[in-house]
Amino acid sequence: INIILLGPPGAGKGTQARILVEERGLQQLSTGDMLRAARNSGTEMGKKVADVMDRGELVTDEIVIGLIREKLSEGGNGFIFDGFPRTLAQADALGHLLDETGMILDAVIEMQVEDDALVRRITGRFTCGNCGEVYHDETRPTKQPGVCDVCGSTDLRRRADDNEESLKTRLLEYYKKTSPLIGYYYAKEKLTSVDGLGAQEAVSRDIAAVLNGR
């Protein structure tokens, strides 16, 4: 199956995507992760997008569509689109790419979380630089301070755009450019909304219920 996780910054898309990878063997396609990887390896594209990302603005459709096109051309058996599409142009492009490769979009899961909770989630987040596990100062700390539970790495990082100023811009970008996708996929009869405010396990159960109904 191929699904889209749709929701504002901090809604828990990455967290739930990692669980789906574990449980269903799907492949996570996070354009945010791909862009950060390009930055870390210092490619031309990575340098070009760095400032835009740190400010919390969207990078161009052309760049992210290119990244997704490349991944889809490698094939696979089931994708989770995490943080893509984020504009109507990206949604249309994804539709064409899936058609071309004979793939079907099974579901779009909108994760609803109110703004106050998003701010708390983003400002408390840190991730493992080695394995990518996602943590939170209050709701999901590491068992041993400074050490990743999963891989034992001490390379725990905070994102440059996880500050209140950039987060405001990210929220605005979401409401202006990405939230129209809710209506877009509703009209295509692909949309299911889940409450993303509950505990991680509760949200996973709700998502599993949507996917099992497919």
142 binds Zn ion (CB under 5 A): no
Task: Determine if residue 7 is labeled as part of a ligand binding site.
Answer: no
Task: Determine if residue 95 is labeled as part of a ligand binding site.
Answer: no
The residue annotated as part of the active site, out of 158, 159, 177, 190, is 159
Site for ligand AP5 (CB under 6 A): which residue of 170, 181, 184, 192? Answer: 170
24 in catalytic set = no
134 binds ligand AP5 (CB under 6 A): yes
Please provide the size of the chain in residues.
Answer: 214
64 binds ligand AP5 (CB under 6 A): yes
Site for Zn ion (CB under 5 A): which residue of 11, 128, 203, 207? Answer: 128
The mark string for 18-47 relative to ligand AP5 (x by CB under 6 A, - otherwise) is -------------xx--x------------
Residue 140 near residue 199 (C-beta atoms within 8 A): no
199 binds ligand AP5 (CB under 6 A): yes
**Cα separation values, 64 from 35, 58, 72, 181, Å:** 8, 10, 12, 16
158 in catalytic set = no
- C-beta of 118: minimal distance to ligand AP5 in Å? 8
Looking at the DSSP assignment, which residues form a beta bridge with residue 125? Answer: 136
Burial 116-128 (b: 16+ CB within 10 A, else e): eebbebbebbbbb
Residue 142 near residue 149 (C-beta atoms within 8 A): yes
Q: Residue 109 class from Cβ within 10 Å (0-12 exposed, 13-18 middle, 19+ buried)?
A: buried
- The tokens describing 124, both together, are 């408390």
- Give the active site residues: 13, 86, 125, 159, 170
Q: Which residues are annotated as a binding site for ATP?
A: 10-15, 125, 134-135, 198
